[in-house]
């Protein structure tokens, strides 16, 4: 089958979702009101609360939620064939992610722009808030560990990308200084930055860097993981303007350039999807499609992480309440289109079915490597790029996304440790350095604990990351549903996704529990149990809170 058909069907479906379904949700369910005074106006302070142009806000929102996760998930999930992943990404974006993201914005805007964490405390109850903190910590822990493993793998797979990936950090540092000290305007800096980055990508394959296969008893993979965490720890302690801000900016530009290049190459080269529609011959040990598909692809179909971005930051800058539809729903569509690109790269970027099967030899194989290799051959075929440059370009794109998530994730984890330090009166834990070290050590334990001394098995926890992320989404959906019930509006559009998500998450956790037990993987079994307990608590909390909400009289809205 032609990849162009897949692309047009997917984009067309998501566009229709935005045009029709999101209009229905915005007008009939959330009843977004253009005259409502948003927190950005109500509490305007020039710092947190600033009414912002909706296109600018969409730009942030989209680039903050899109990262490596919507690439990794679909690139793993195509092992069941392209159709299940495709359907879940498209329908998930339309009926789950879009509603969840715009709903989180609406809920927050109607509650003085509070974050989902604070909202769960206020709308659902104090207990729910505690569960929320734990779930968030687990999400951050897993995402940092997995991304460390993923980037290490990418760097080993493509030594040509080492120079541009680390060089990009130098470029960001220089850009940060130039802008902060107002030496040059943003326009010139953007052009210079992007040109410098692409020059590095072009040069990279000519100066490949590979770590020695063993340093002090550590494999190259393990050494990269340690180096990456050392970097992330330092980056998360630096002032944001120095590295994080310019890096985010370059990543944002990269995201748009990368998506345009990939889609352009598909349209010009028209590659053929070689992967089976539904893979009846999955490798031994591959778990069942239902429910694992729905937790393997979290970002790209629905992700709790978006609720954090929507409620914590975007909601404080929403100029009009009606903008929630464009910023939230269309932001989800943007992420869906990235996941779609990942599906196409990982299924149409191979010459033959045998080549594809050689990559997808077991569950968890493929992932970013398949995206990079597949995407590179599409770029080479469509745009005539040199294959090694194309592979370097995609590796840099994926590694930069994952790297930024890592340093932001470590920063957030550090805040949680610092907060726990205050709650439990451990003064040492409230300091940035010890809190950062604790975060790094916990992530490293997970990365190495799951995969042994060479840190190679980190991707085994990917589905567990998906389940925790879905739990987070479940809590956000719960907040929105309760708000709808209290206002006497139909709750089925958020309650349906909530029930579906919780059911799939619980079944997935139980199945994996059995799987880990059979493999006698006690570390992952323990982790699975922790997440399972959190999932049960979330489910019970949902049931109790909804029962209360349905019993309450309807308020005027």
Partner 1 sequence: MGNRIMGALRRLNELGNQYYNAPYRAAIARAKRDEEDLFMLLVFSEMMGIPNPAAWSTLELQPLLMDRFHEWHTRMGMERSPLDHFRCC
d(CA 165, CA 528): 33
> How, if at all, do strands 214-215 and 218-219 pair?
antiparallel
Please say which residue, 179 or 275, places its beta carbon nearer to partner 1.
179
State yes or no: residue 240 binds partner 1 (CB under 8 A): yes
Please say which residue, 313 or 539, places its beta carbon nearer to partner 1.
313
d(CA 527, CA 239): 33
State yes or no: residue 66 binds partner 1 (CB under 8 A): no
State yes or no: residue 357 binds partner 1 (CB under 8 A): no
Tell me which residue of 238, 223, 202 sits closest to 407, measured CA to CA. Answer: 238
The helix/strand/coil state of 456 is coil
Please say which residue, 186 or 433, places its beta carbon nearer to partner 1.
186
State yes or no: residue 186 binds partner 1 (CB under 8 A): yes
Burial status of residue 340 (CB atoms within 10 A of its CB: 0-12, 13-18, 19 or more): buried
d(CA 384, CA 158): 20
d(CA 149, CA 432): 25
Please say which residue, 40 or 298, places its beta carbon nearer to partner 1.
40
Tell me the DSSP string of 157-201: H-GGGHHHHHHHHHHHHHHHHHHHTT-S-HHHHHHHHHHHHHHHH
- What residues contact 243, with CB distance under 8 A and at least 6 apart? 169, 172, 173, 176, 235, 407
State in angstroms the smallest separation of the CB of 249 from partner 1: 5
Q: Phi, psi at residue 314, to the nearest 5°?
A: -60, -40
d(CA 265, CA 260): 8
Options 25-33, 45-53, 372-380, 549-557: segment touching partner 1 (CB under 8 A): 45-53
Among 20, 24, 55, 256, binds partner 1 (CB under 8 A): 55
State yes or no: residue 249 binds partner 1 (CB under 8 A): yes
Site string for partner 1, 142-181 (x = CB under 8 A): -------------------------------------x--
d(CA 201, CA 393): 6
Are 399 and 154 in contact by the 8 Å Cβ rule? The answer is yes
Tell me which residue of 425, 463, 417 sits closest to 441, measured CA to CA. Answer: 417
State in angstroms the smallest separation of the CB of 311 from partner 1: 15
Among 19, 126, 182, 187, binds partner 1 (CB under 8 A): 187
Among 50, 118, 259, 507, binds partner 1 (CB under 8 A): 50
Tell me the DSSP string of 213-262: SEETTEEHHHHHHHHHHHHHHHHHHS-TTTTHHHHHHHHHHHHHHHHHHH
Please say which residue, 52 or 512, places its beta carbon nearer to partner 1.
52
State yes or no: residue 256 binds partner 1 (CB under 8 A): no
E strands along 280-416, which residues? none
State yes or no: residue 47 binds partner 1 (CB under 8 A): yes
174, two tokens: 């220089």
State in angstroms the smallest separation of the CB of 317 from partner 1: 7
State in angstroms the smallest separation of the CB of 180 from partner 1: 9
Are 397 and 371 in contact by the 8 Å Cβ rule? The answer is no
d(CA 167, CA 177): 16
Please say which residue, 62 or 329, places its beta carbon nearer to partner 1.
62
State yes or no: residue 401 binds partner 1 (CB under 8 A): no
Please say which residue, 57 or 483, places its beta carbon nearer to partner 1.
57
Options 55-63, 92-100, 486-494, 528-536: segment touching partner 1 (CB under 8 A): 55-63
Options 150-158, 234-242, 369-377, 398-406: segment touching partner 1 (CB under 8 A): 234-242
State yes or no: residue 101 binds partner 1 (CB under 8 A): no
Among 22, 25, 30, 52, binds partner 1 (CB under 8 A): 52
State yes or no: residue 244 binds partner 1 (CB under 8 A): yes
Query: Looking at the chain, how many residues does it have?
Result: 557
Among 24, 183, 185, 453, binds partner 1 (CB under 8 A): 185
State yes or no: residue 241 binds partner 1 (CB under 8 A): yes
Options 244-252, 287-295, 300-308, 426-434: segment touching partner 1 (CB under 8 A): 244-252
Among 10, 13, 17, 59, binds partner 1 (CB under 8 A): 59
State yes or no: residue 183 binds partner 1 (CB under 8 A): no
Among 10, 26, 62, 64, binds partner 1 (CB under 8 A): 64
Angle CA 481–299–497, to nearest 5: 25
State yes or no: residue 48 binds partner 1 (CB under 8 A): yes
d(CA 75, CA 373): 11
Site of tokens 């990365």? 447
Tell me which residue of 164, 160, 161, 184 sits closest to 174, measured CA to CA. Answer: 184
Please say which residue, 240 or 257, places its beta carbon nearer to partner 1.
240
CA diameter of the chain: 69
Torsion sign over Cα 527, 532, 533, 535: positive
Options 182-190, 327-335, 460-468, 511-519: segment touching partner 1 (CB under 8 A): 182-190
Among 53, 130, 213, 361, binds partner 1 (CB under 8 A): 53
Among 190, 286, 357, 539, binds partner 1 (CB under 8 A): 190
Residues 307-336 that bind partner 1 (CB under 8 A): 313, 317
State yes or no: residue 252 binds partner 1 (CB under 8 A): yes
Among 3, 13, 26, 60, binds partner 1 (CB under 8 A): 60
CA distances 238 to 173, 224, 244, 551, Å, are 11, 21, 8, 50
Options 44-52, 197-205, 223-231, 451-459: segment touching partner 1 (CB under 8 A): 44-52
Q: How many residues bind partner 1 (CB under 8 A)?
A: 27
**Binding footprint of partner 1 on the chain (CB under 8 A):** 46-48, 50, 52-53, 55-57, 59-60, 64, 179, 185-187, 190, 239-241, 244-245, 248-249, 252, 313, 317
């Amino acid at each position: 089958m032609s990849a162009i058909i897949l692309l047009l069907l997917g984009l067309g479906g998501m566009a229709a979702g935005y045009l029709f379904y999101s209009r229905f949700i915005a007008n009939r369910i959330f009843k977004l009101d253009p005259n409502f005074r948003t927190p950005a106006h109500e509490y305007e302070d020039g710092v947190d609360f600033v009414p912002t142009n909706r296109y600018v806000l969409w730009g942030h929102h989209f680039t903050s939620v899109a990262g490596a996760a919507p690439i990794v998930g679909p690139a793993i999930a195509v092992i069941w064939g392209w159709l299940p992943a495709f359907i879940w990404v498209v329908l998930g974006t339309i009926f789950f992610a879009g509603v969840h993201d715009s709903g989180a914005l609406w809920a927050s805007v109607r509650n003085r722009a509070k974050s989902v964490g604070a909202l769960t405390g206020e709308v659902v109850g104090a207990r729910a808030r505690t569960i929320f903190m734990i779930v968030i910590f687990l999400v951050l822990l897993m995402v940092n560990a997995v991304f460390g493993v993923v980037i290490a793998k990418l760097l080993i797979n493509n030594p040509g990308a080492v120079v541009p990936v680390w060089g990009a950090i130098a470029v960001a540092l220089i850009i940060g200084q130039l802008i902060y000290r107002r030496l040059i305007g943003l326009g010139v800096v953007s052009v210079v930055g992007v040109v410098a980055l692409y020059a590095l990508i072009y040069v990279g394959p000519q100066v490949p860097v590979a770590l020695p296969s063993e340093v002090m008893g550590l494999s190259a993979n393990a050494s990269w993981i340690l180096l990456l965490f050392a970097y992330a720890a330092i980056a998360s302690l630096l002032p944001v303007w120095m590295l994080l801000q310019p890096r985010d900016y370059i990543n944002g530009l990269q995201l748009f350039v990368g998506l345009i290049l990939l889609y352009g190459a598909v349209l010009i080269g028209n590659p053929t999807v070689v992967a089976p529609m539904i893979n009846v011959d999955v490798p031994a040990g591959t778990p069942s499609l239902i429910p694992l598909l729905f937790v393997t692809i979290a970002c790209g179909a629905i992700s709790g992480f978006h609720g954090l971005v929507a409620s914590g930051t975007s909601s404080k800058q929403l100029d009009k309440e009606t903008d929630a539809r464009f910023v939230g729903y269309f932001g989800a569509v943007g992420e869906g289109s990235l996941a779609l690109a990942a599906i196409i790269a990982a299924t149409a970027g191979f010459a033959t079915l045998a080549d594809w099967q050689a990559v997808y030899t077991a569950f968890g194989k493929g992932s970013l490597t398949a995206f990079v290799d597949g995407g590179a051959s599409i770029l080479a075929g469509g745009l005539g790029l040199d294959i090694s440059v194309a592979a370097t370009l995609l590796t840099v794109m994926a590694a930069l996304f994952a790297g930024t998530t890592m340093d932001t994730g470590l920063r957030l984890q550090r805040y949680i440790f610092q907060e726990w330090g205050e709650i439990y009166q451990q003064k040492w834990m409230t300091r940035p350095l010890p809190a950062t070290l604790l975060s790094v050590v916990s992530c490293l334990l997970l990365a190495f604990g799951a995969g042994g001394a060479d840190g190679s098995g980190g991707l085994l926890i990917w589905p567990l990351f998906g389940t925790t992320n879905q739990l987070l989404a479940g809590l956000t959906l719960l907040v929105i549903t309760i708000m709808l019930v209290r206002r006497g509006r139909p709750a089925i559009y958020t309650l349906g996704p909530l029930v579906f998500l919780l059911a799939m998450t619980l079944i997935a956790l139980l199945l994996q529990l059995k799987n880990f037990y059979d493999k006698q993987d006690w570390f992952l079994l323990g982790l699975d149990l922790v997440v399972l307990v959190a999932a049960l608590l979330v489910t019970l909390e949902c049931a109790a809170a909804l029962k209360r909400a349905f019993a309450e009289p309807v308020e005027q809205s």
